[in-house]
Structures are given as structure tokens and as C-alpha cells.
Structure 1
Amino acid sequence: MTTSTSGAASSTGPSSGSGPEPARGPVHGPAPRASATLPPRPLGFTGRTEALDRLLPCLAPIPENDSAPPVLISALTGMGGIGKTALALEAAHRACAAGWFPGGALFVDLRGYDDDPVTADQAVLALLDALGVRGPDLPATATGQYDTYRALLAARCDRTLLILDNVSDPGQFLPLLPGTDRHRVLVTSRERPDALPVRRIDLDPLAAAESVALVTRALLDADERDDRPAREPEALRELADLCGHLPLALQIAAAMLRRRHPRAIASLVRDIRRTTDRTPLLDGGPVGTDQYGRSLVLRPVLETSYRRLPPGQARLLRLLALAPGTETATWTIAALTGLGREEALSLLEDLAATCLVTRVRGTGGDADPRWLVHDLVRAFATGVVAARPDLREEGEEARERALGFYVLCAHMADARLRWLPGEPEPELFADRARALAWLDRERTALVAAVRWAAEDRYARLSVQLAEYLAEYLEWRRYFDDWITVASAARDAAHRTGDRRGEFVGWDYLGLALRHAGRTDEAIDAHLRALDLSRAEGHRSGEAVQWGHLANALLVAGRPEEAIDAHLRARALHQAHGHVQAEADEWNNLALSLHAVGRTEEAIDAHVRARDLYLAIGDRHGAGIAWNNLARTWEAAGLTAQAIGAYDNALELQREFGDWFGAGMTLGNLAGVHAATGDPVRARAAFLAAADAYTRADAPAEAARCQSRADTLT
């Protein structure tokens, strides 16, 4: 049994942190991603003139002499596949091009019709990330996150458009409203939010002429010589009727026509008419059924398209539909299918031509493009897999390959995040920035994969992924994701009798709960892990749990108990020769000693931690100890010593490339200079902190330090 040391050392000084917050649901689905820029304009957008004429005035600025109340929230509603997102993006691009939103747009897909819809708590984290608030500057509790989000929007002078896509319940978006009438909100949903003060625009299927125009344009965009629409107007109208005038079905049908050129439109009409399977797949009814029960025959269109796929493309679609998350990278799809990257990419490009999958523009780049499957297409493909035992086993084998790929890459990324100078260089990721970039891109899929792996057959992979994601989730402060990951791993390990895995799950769950402000639950989790380590006779694991329990006890306002737990942990680590873990315990013991007023002992403990870190070459750990020692000296009124210690911490943080830590230390140093009446040095330190935060890709923190510097001009 190995042990976890994540979260053992603190760089935040002797502060006891925030108190516990009322518990929220401990487990949720994959994390969303928000964008501070609009997704690309929808290709081939056709029709919707009336809807645009109604929507655009709601987004336009109100003339100064107009006393009418503004429309703050607009909702586009209608069945799946009817083009709500496309219309929202078309309107948003037109509004931004007209200069109506100088503050730009924020976009987040709430995946309201997935098995695990995005919660408002998840969405606010994604939106804060898009606004530049991330890492250690991110508030730990949901209350603090919402307060920060609303404060940022309230302080945002330029009008901003917030697009909340795929909402299934008002609870997903109501907490995300800006709280000011300066900005505008655009929601898309299959439901009708009749009980809310929302300007609702219901989308019906396209008019017959618009459907014909959509298919015609799609064919002519591919080949301006394609004269089939002109030669077969009746067949084209019949095809539009068979597609129910649903944009998604029309796009897929147009793709089939492009690929079977020059065969007649009438031949596709005959193929679709032969397909009469209306098997329920989604929302309790046939795919494409609206709220009135009218079948829009999307399934026959999908079935016809699927049957015409070559075997390799058909297999790829089935397996891609099973992938965790919403967007999947090419390398992951290669692992999922067991193909080489270039072969997988070629199949994906061919499949994209059918409109059954979509390349997500603006993500991944040429090195690793990402791919999206519409939820109705995903439902169809998973239904195909579920109907045949041989395809189900094919899917399980693909899942194991994909999980193995995720475990390998997450392991390499975690090794890079934990790497110290002088150790062997980890493979795959050349530096910390590249490891973080990959984890950021794959976070949604990785969190989903831990739950995807929670079945007994893959439980060991669920535990491994949870271990390899811990450092990253803590560093980025994605505590809800961490709770989800740890809970899934713990439960999987418990079901399969994996005592070590269960210990790891409880340990990481305790760490995540403490960081999330749910301190009492964290203490309970660490006690459960402590019991497991004792039952297994695992002294090293017991030492880790005493230390983690001590940190939670301190946050809970029980410093005397924390001191006792730290002393137990330190003694066990000393007995086993775990020098780095012993240094962590000296460092954290000092925080508890300071909390009870034992300042001299706290200073001595920080010095012992610093010296141990230096003895083993952990210069980053030494930098943390120097920073904490400076905070303690500062609180004790030993200003000169504190300034010297901050300087030492800064040197080591810069050496390690920890620019976020350097920003924190420089901010602390600026505070000392300001408090001692030296505004010139305070301003210089704030400016240096802003520069360090910029290098750490932390714009919100950089802006705050720049603002503090400006006040000292």
C-alpha cells in the first residue's frame, strides 16, 4: 500500500482558513468548460429570419430616451436538433459585430440532457476560469465563488453577453445570472421556462422553403455544379418532409447526398422510407419526438446514414459515442479504437463529412484536434451498441483501452507536476506548463473517466486515475471535481475489496472536503482512512492520515488536537525515515503552534522544516517554509527578519519556476513595506507580483496587484 502526501504542506501561512459550509451534493458529472470568446459562427446557417428579428432587438442597447424596461434574459426553446445553439451563436456573432457587447461573450454548455447535467456550482467555476480566476486565488467555497463571479460582472463596465447553452432546469442557470441590468443573458433549452421573467422564443421546425434552401446550400457549397436540387425539386421537398424539417436531420441528409453524388435525391428518399424503426432512445420517446408527440423521424435518417457507413467509420462512431465527456481528442479516440493516430484521424475526417461528428474548431490545434457528437446522435449510436452483445463487448474492450491511455498520460502529467530538480526527468511532458495544459484540456473527460471506470471490471483504473489527478485538482482548486473523483474511486475499491484503494479514496476525499470548506466531513473521512491503515498494519499510511487529520482539525478551530495529531504523524515519519514527509509535518505543526500563541516554537518548527527540505534538495519545499516563516515573523513584529525570509522564499520560487508562489510572496512583501511606511518599495513589489502572476497565467491576481500598485503612485 502506498500513501498520499497531497496537501501536506501549506504555502498560505498561519491563517486557519474559512469555516465549514453547509454540505452540497458530494458527487456530480463531468466538469464543463466555459469560453471567454464565442464559438465559431455556425456553418451553413439558413432561415430563422423571424426568430432573429425577435431576438436581436432583445440584445441591442436601449436608446437613452427609451423608458421601457430592458429584456435581460432571452430563451430559445425547442426540441433537440432544431438548431437552438446555432441560432444563439448566429445572433451573438451579429450582435458582437455590431458593437453591442464590447465586453465580449461568455459561453458555457450546461449539458442539461446528459445523464449528469452540469450543476450551477460547476458552471460558476468554469465561468470564473474563463474570467481569469483560477488556482490559489479561487475561493474555496461555493458562496465565495458566486460572490466573486457576481462582483466581477458588476465591476465589468462593458456590456457582456452570457450564453448558457442546453439548460434543462432553471436551477442550472438562475444562480449564474449577473445581478446587474448592464449585461444580457441568452439561454437555450428544450423546456419552456414559463414561470420565469424570460423573453421566450419557441423554435418550430424550419419552413418547407427554408429546409429546401438548407439542403441546396449544403450541396452547392460542396460543389457549385451540383444541379440535383434544380432537377429534382419534388424529391427534395419529400426529403425535407422525411427529415421533419429538423436542421440536424437535414444536415445529415445533405451529407449523405454529397457523398453519393451523382446519385439522385430520390434514391435517398427511398432508402429513408425503408427504415421504419422508431425504437425509443431518448427522453422516453423516439429520437426527434417533440413535446406534442409528433415523430420527426430523426431515427430513420440516422439509421440510413449509419447503414451506409463503411465498417471502419461505423465502428468508430459506435465507440466514440461511448467516450466520457463531451469533446474527445484525436489521441484519445486512437486509444479508444486501437488504431494509430493518423488512421483514426483519417476516419474521423471522413465521418465528419457525414455530419455525424463535428470537429470542434479552436481547440486542440492540428496536433490533437477534438471531436464532438451531438447528443441525439450519441443516443442513437449507444442504442446500436446496447442492442447487440458482440457490440457491447467491443465497447467494453474500447473502454479499457481508453482508460489505460488516460491512466498513462495522467501518470506522466502528475509526475511532471511533482517533479523536483535533480530527479530523473518524467517522460511525455517536457515541462510543467505542458502537463497543466493537457490536464486542463482533458479535465472534463478525465473526471468522467474516473466514474466511467467505477464498474468492478475497471475499479483498479478508477483508483489509479484518482491518485494521478489529485495534485492537479488541488493545484487548480477544482475541489468539487476532486470530491467526485475521490468518491467514485473509494466506492469502486470498496465494492471490489481493494483496501488500499479504499484508503486512497477516503484520504483524497478528506483533502478535497477540507479545501471545499466541509471540514467536519473531512475529519470523518480522514478518521475512516486512519482506521483502514491501522487495520492493514500500514504504518506509513497511518502517518499520512494523522498529518491530514491534523490539518483538518486546525481548520475546524481545534488547534490543540491538531498539534497532537501532527506530533503523532511526525514521530511515525521519523521512525520510517521519510524525511520529506517529516519536513511537511514540521511545517504544518508550526501553523498549529502559531494558532495557539506558541510563536517561538512555531518559528523553530518552520526553521526545522526549511532545513530538512534543503537537506534533501527540495528547494521548492524550502521556499514554502521560508514564506511561512516570514509570515510568522511578520505576525510577531519581527519585520526585518520577515523581509529577509520573503526574499529567500522568492529566490527559491523563481528558481523552481513557481511564478504563482512568487506572486504570493511578492504580495506579502509589498504588504510589509506598505505597513512600515515604505510606499516606493511596496509599489515595486506589487508591480513585480503582477508580473509574476502574469507569467503564471493568473490575470485576475495580476490585475489586483497592478491596482494596488496604482494606488501607491
Structure 2
Amino acid sequence: MGGIGKTALAVEAGHQARTQGWFPGGTLFVDLRGYDDNPVTADQAVLALLDALGVRGPDLPPTTARQYDTYRALLAERRDRMLLILDNASAASQFLPLLPGTDHHRVLITSRDRPHALPVRLIDLEALTPDESAALVTRALHDADERDDRPSREPAALRELTALCGHLPLALQIAAAMLRRRRHRDIASLVSEIAETGDTTTVLDNGSPGTDLYGRSLVLRPVLETSYRRLPPDQARLLRLFALAPGAETGTGAVAALADLEARTALSLLEELAATHLVTPVCSGEGSDSAVRWRLHDLVRAYGAGVVAGDVGLREEGEAARERVLEYYCRWAYAADTRLRWFPGMPEPERFGDRGQALAWLDGERAGLVAAAQWAREERYADTAVRLSVCVAEYLDWRRYFDDTITIFRVAQQATHRAGDGRGEAGAWDHLGIALREVGRTEEAIEAHTRARDLYQAVEDHHREAMAWNNLGIALREVGRTEEAIEAHTRARDLYQAVEDHHREAMAWNNLGIALREVGRTEEAIEAHTRARDLFQAARDHHLGATAWNNLGNALEEAGQTGEAIEAYGRALETYEEFEDWYRAGQTLGNLALAHEDAHSPAEARAHWLRAADAYTRADAPDRATQARAQAERLK
């Protein structure tokens, strides 16, 4: 892409090669200005090359054809190898006529476009890494003044500045030049200035020194503008709408939804944009065009969003695009969520044939889903974005992305409160409470579930009120308020029985059993977990049934019925592994290990601890995996 450092690399390579004697015949350099309003044609460039080779004035052939003949003849006759650098070519027609008619010499071409049809070796340049970016700015400051210690004094601000520059060499050069000029101000001041405007290009271009040591322009926006203006209308439209996508990486389907195109059409346009280095393909699904994912450089994204914001008609087009992608995410997140919760007897969801497919899609789109859910801050998108939050809640719980859950349901709670939607606000509080409890913020969770319960009572939604009671009971139990937890779970159970929701009644029984066990009422706990198991089996919900089996195993173990406990844990483990719920599989394997220790079978216990470590690793729970391995080591 523009500003990535193609010319600088080509020139540096030429200098080093010449120093090492690779090109004793010399080097030739032509800036074809392919992205300016008036690019240099090959016919114009050949005149400059002939001049550099000493052919000028009366020696210059009068016709273009003879000029090319003379140019190629001179190169063919020259025994010493030469290097020809053709810089900034935007079309093959600019450089093809200039290629030597012999393979004796070498040619280096820079371009923002990929000439796929030509048999040339392509070297793609990416943005710098964070470490390389920091090193570039640090060296630029030290070269100007070796006493400049701002990079070592402000490493965090330096990292933030390089991220705001998108690790693009041109932007980093401009930022370094600005810091050199404002020697007595800290790096954080420039970071704050960019953050306040929200537009890196505006701040850097306004503070740009204009040109570098070689007289090349040091400005960002014109670089992006020339690339954008050269695009055909359909590609330009797709690019600016893509800039509005939530998340850093976006699947082809979501981009197609933004632009209101068929996926195949969007894919073709994206491939054309990738050929101009304005978008980057980051991965592809096997055998599925729609699974290809795409990324925009941060500065290209900011530029595209700025183009939309600067025009009334384009703004409305952009708002409609955002509505479409939200609906797209809602449709498929709902289908994926349905598949995660699916058990025999339920209607088959769209698109996803099994849980693996649903999880793969959710994993790929996670960043976009979470970002889109936060659009609930804007009134136009609030209803749909809140609905999206609910659709992804189960997935985020499965993958244990609780910080994401907290983020989206904070926004959902505020949006529903503004809208006066008591039922919706209650749901947001309830989901928020679950996530807060999972990250150890249990007192906040109790408050959240209490708010949810009260709001559901206010709108007389006793079904969902039961859910809030159940979740409140779990949080109360975790802070040792077990008698209150028993009362909460009992209230939940009774409400579920009243509305004849036997599936959720099973959940209440299950949680009630845990609380009863904690106060020593073990026989009652066994009965509660048995009731929960039977109700889950009747509902054919094997996943939650596994939870009941696991909890039943805990109660049986406490009652001294170790053999029965091991059998219950085994039933739970079989289901968790089938569902690829690796975190809960790890918990059950840990329970099995402890049961085998109680049964004086250390070898089997150690094997189960090691399996638990593997399960926790697959669940991305490294701390629990480490603990499980330590337990296994204890039994060596």
C-alpha cells in the first residue's frame, strides 16, 4: 500500500548492491509517478533513460520507435550489468516497454498494484511490527539528537503512538519529524493530540515538515486519496463501506452484507482491492469462498470512514450498510446460538450442521460481533445490537470470554434503560451478573441479579424472574450466604413449576442441590440432583444433563458412595467431551481424579489429572491446566 516504504527499500537495496559491486554498469532510476494525476508514460520515461545513458540533443532519434530501439541496443551492448529501478508504476503499460531486451541486466519495480498476469517475482511489503516501529522512531530521534531520551522515558506512549500510526513507515516518519520539531514536548502530548481529534492523518499532515531529505512528499492523506480515486466505482463503494465494518477482521459474508451484494460479487471485488493492497486477505476457510477473511489497514479504514462522514448522501448509505451488517450478524449468531443449545427434538437451525461449524463461525467473527453489539450506544441501532448481545451470550460463556460479555451487556443495559425497556434492561443486568460472577466480582453480580429480579417483578414477567432468582442464588452461594441461596433457588424452582417450564425447573433443582450439599444436607442434595438429571433427560438436554450428573457425583462422593460417584462423573465426562466443552470436561476429570484418590487408585487418579490438564489447555485455561499438572506430579 501507499506509504509502506517501497521506494525507500528499493533505493536502499540499489545502494547496497552497487556498494557490493553487483552492478558495475551503474544504476538507472525513474519515478513513473503512477499515482499522480499525470503519470509518466513509458514514452516519456525512455527519453529520461536515454538522457542518463548519454543520448541527448542531436543524438536523440526523432521517432518513438527508434528511441526504444536505441535504448535496447545500448543495454544489449553494455557488458557490465546494470540495475534499472522503475518506481511507482500503476500500470504494466508504464514499465513493459522499458524492460531490457536481455536478461543480462536486472529490473526492480515498485507498485501499489500486483501485476498478476506477468511472470515477475512479487515481494509483498507489510506494515512494520510494533518493535520495528518503535525502533524506527527511536533511531530517527537519536540520529537528530543523541541526547533525546524520550523513547526510553516513555515506552508506553511510544508504543501507543506507533499503533496510532498503524505501523506504517510513512506515518512513523512524519510522527518522528514532528517530535524532532517539538523537542521539548513529550511523546504523550502527540498521542493525546491524535486521540482528541480521532484522526491520525489530519494531525500528522497538519504537522508534517512537507518533504524528506530526498524531496519526497511527507503527507498521508494524498497517498490514500490517490489510491481511492483510481478505483472503479464499485470497488470504491465497497472499500468505503468496508471501512465501517465492526472489528479488525471481517468475513466475506459480512462485507457482502455491508455492500448489499451477493457473496461471490463481494469476493471478486475484495480480490481486486487486495491486488491494489487496499485490503489484505488474512485467512481462508477450506473449500468455502465465503469463509475468506479480510483486513483493512487502520489508516485506510480511517480514511474510508472519513469519506463517508464527509458527504450527506454517503452518510445515509453508510448508515444503511451498518443496519444490514447488524441484521446479518443477528441472523447467523442466532442460528449458531441455536445450534449450541440444540438437542434432539428441537427444530434444526439454519446453516450450521453441527456445533463445530457454529463455533468456528463464531470464533472467526467474534471481534466483529462484540464490536457490533456495542453499536447499541447509538439509538438507530440499539434494538438490533441488544438482540445481538443476547445471541452471543451463550457462545461467550462457552469460550469463557467474560470480559467481552461484561462489555456488551454494560452497553445493552444502558441502551435499554434509555429506551424505557424494563424487560430488556432486566435481561442485560442478568447476563451482566453472570459474567461478573465468573470473573470474581461476586458482590457486583449479586447487585446485578437483584436489579434484574426487581425489574422482572415490576413488569410481572414471572418466568424470567425465576431466572434472575436462580442466578442470584448462585452468586449468594459463592459469597457464603448459602441459606439465602437455598431460598433463592427454591423461589426459582417454584416459579418454574408454576409456569410449567420443566427444563429450567431442572436448572433450579441442580443449583438447589449444590447449596444443600454445602450446608451438609447431603441426602437432600442427592435427591435434588437426581430430580434435575431426570428432568434434563426428559427434555433431552444432554449438555445440562451432564452438569446434573457431575453435581450428583459430588453429592454421592460426599456421602461416601465413591463407586456411584465415579460412575456419575463418567456419564458427565462422556457428554462434555461429545460437546467439546473442554473447561467443564476438565472440571469433571478433576473430580474423577479425586474420587480415584479416595478409592486408593493413585495411578488412575494421576492419569485423570493429566487428562484434565489437556482439557483445560484446549479450553484456553492455562492456570487450571498448570494446577492439574501439579496434582499429577504429586502422585508420581
Matched, 1:338 2:301: no
The 3-state SS of whatever aligns with 2:245 is coil
- 1:607 matched to which residue of 2? 530
Matched, 1:588 2:490: no
Matched, 1:400 2:317: no
Give the alignment partner of residue 434 of structure 1, picking from 348, 354, 357.
Answer: 357
CA distance in 2: counterparts of 1:319 and 1:443, whole angstroms: 20
User: Tell me, which stretches of 5 or more residues in structure 1 are unaligned?
Assistant: 1-40, 51-82, 92-162, 168-190, 205-210, 215-242, 249-279
CA distance in 2: counterparts of 1:617 and 1:198, whole angstroms: 53
CA distance in 1: counterparts of 2:160 and 2:433, whole angstroms: 46
Give the alignment partner of residue 354 of structure 1, picking from 265, 269, 276.
Answer: 276
Q: Deviations over 1:517-548 (max 9, x none)?
A: 11121111112111211111111111111111
Residues 255-654 of structure 1 mapped to structure 2, 5 A cutoff? 282-283=199-200, 285-288=202-205, 296-361=218-283, 367=289, 368-653=291-576
Inter-CA distance 317–593: structure 2 relative to 1 (3 Å threshold): same
- 1:194 matched to which residue of 2? 152
How far off is 1:391 after superposition? 0.6
Q: Deviations over 1:407-453 (max 9, x none)?
A: 01100110111111332322211211121111111111111001124
Inter-CA distance 377–364: structure 2 relative to 1 (3 Å threshold): farther
CA distance in 1: counterparts of 2:516 and 2:281, whole angstroms: 56
CA distance in 2: counterparts of 1:305 and 1:509, whole angstroms: 44
- 1:60 matched to which residue of 2? none
CA distance in 1: counterparts of 2:8 and 2:257, whole angstroms: 34
| Deviating more after overlay: 422-431 vs 390-399 | 422-431
Q: Deviations over 1:372-400 (max 9, x none)?
A: 22222222222211111111000000000
If you compute each CA radius of gyration, which structure gives the higher value, 1 or 2?
2
Check conservation: 2:522, 2:558, Cα contact below 8 A: no
CA distance in 1: counterparts of 2:271 and 2:395, whole angstroms: 32
CA distance in 1: counterparts of 2:136 and 2:329, whole angstroms: 28
Inter-CA distance 702–421: structure 2 relative to 1 (3 Å threshold): farther
How far off is 1:472 after superposition? 0.8
How far off is 1:197 after superposition? 7.7
How far off is 1:482 after superposition? 0.2
Check conservation: 1:329, 1:364, Cα contact below 8 A: no
The 3-state SS of whatever aligns with 1:382 is helix
Q: Which amino acid aligns with 2:425?
A: E
Q: Which amino acid aligns with 1:88?
A: T
CA distance in 1: counterparts of 2:509 and 2:343, whole angstroms: 20
CA distance in 2: counterparts of 1:637 and 1:299, whole angstroms: 73
Check conservation: 2:240, 2:308, Cα contact below 8 A: yes
How far off is 1:355 after superposition? 2.5
The 3-state SS of whatever aligns with 2:281 is strand
- 1:54 matched to which residue of 2? none
CA distance in 1: counterparts of 2:358 and 2:344, whole angstroms: 16
CA distance in 2: counterparts of 1:651 and 1:660, whole angstroms: 13
CA distance in 1: counterparts of 2:150 and 2:325, whole angstroms: 38
The 3-state SS of whatever aligns with 1:537 is coil
How far off is 1:318 after superposition? 1.1
CA distance in 2: counterparts of 1:692 and 1:45, whole angstroms: 49
How far off is 1:309 after superposition? 1.7
How far off is 1:633 after superposition? 2.3
Check conservation: 1:281, 1:380, Cα contact below 8 A: no
How far off is 1:43 after superposition? 9.4
How far off is 1:642 after superposition? 1.8
Q: Deviations over 1:597-633 (max 9, x none)?
A: 2222222211221122222222332221111111122
How far off is 1:306 after superposition? 1.9
| Deviating more after overlay: 367-376 vs 509-518 | 367-376
CA distance in 1: counterparts of 2:154 and 2:173, whole angstroms: 27
Inter-CA distance 678–540: structure 2 relative to 1 (3 Å threshold): same
- 1:88 matched to which residue of 2? 129
- 2:104 matched to which residue of 1? none
How far off is 1:673 after superposition? 1.4
Q: Which amino acid aligns with 1:595?
A: E
The structure with higher relative contact order (CA 8 Å, sep 6+) is 1
CA distance in 2: counterparts of 1:600 and 1:640, whole angstroms: 17
For these two proteins, the number of residue pairs brought into alignment is: 481
How far off is 1:691 after superposition? 6.8
Larger helix percent: 2
Check conservation: 2:134, 2:159, Cα contact below 8 A: no
- 2:9 matched to which residue of 1? 46
Q: Which amino acid aligns with 1:46?
A: L
CA distance in 1: counterparts of 2:610 and 2:598, whole angstroms: 17
Check conservation: 2:547, 2:572, Cα contact below 8 A: yes
Q: Which amino acid aligns with 2:373?
A: V
Check conservation: 1:674, 1:682, Cα contact below 8 A: yes
CA distance in 1: counterparts of 2:242 and 2:135, whole angstroms: 22
Q: Which amino acid aligns with 1:648?
A: R
CA distance in 2: counterparts of 1:679 and 1:86, whole angstroms: 54
Q: Which amino acid aligns with 2:497?
A: Q
Inter-CA distance 688–376: structure 2 relative to 1 (3 Å threshold): closer
CA distance in 2: counterparts of 1:467 and 1:244, whole angstroms: 40
Inter-CA distance 453–312: structure 2 relative to 1 (3 Å threshold): farther
User: Tell me, which stretches of 5 or more residues in structure 2 are unaligned?
Assistant: 14-123, 138-148, 163-167, 176-196, 212-216
Check conservation: 1:519, 1:552, Cα contact below 8 A: yes
Q: Which amino acid aligns with 2:265?
A: E
Check conservation: 2:586, 2:613, Cα contact below 8 A: yes
Q: Percent identity?
A: 53
CA distance in 2: counterparts of 1:686 and 1:202, whole angstroms: 42
Check conservation: 2:336, 2:359, Cα contact below 8 A: yes
Q: Which amino acid aligns with 2:438?
A: H
Residues 143-158 of structure 1 mapped to structure 2, 5 A cutoff? none
- 2:19 matched to which residue of 1? none
CA distance in 1: counterparts of 2:361 and 2:368, whole angstroms: 11
Check conservation: 1:287, 1:376, Cα contact below 8 A: no
CA distance in 1: counterparts of 2:199 and 2:593, whole angstroms: 58
Check conservation: 1:606, 1:626, Cα contact below 8 A: yes
CA distance in 1: counterparts of 2:543 and 2:275, whole angstroms: 50
- 1:32 matched to which residue of 2? none
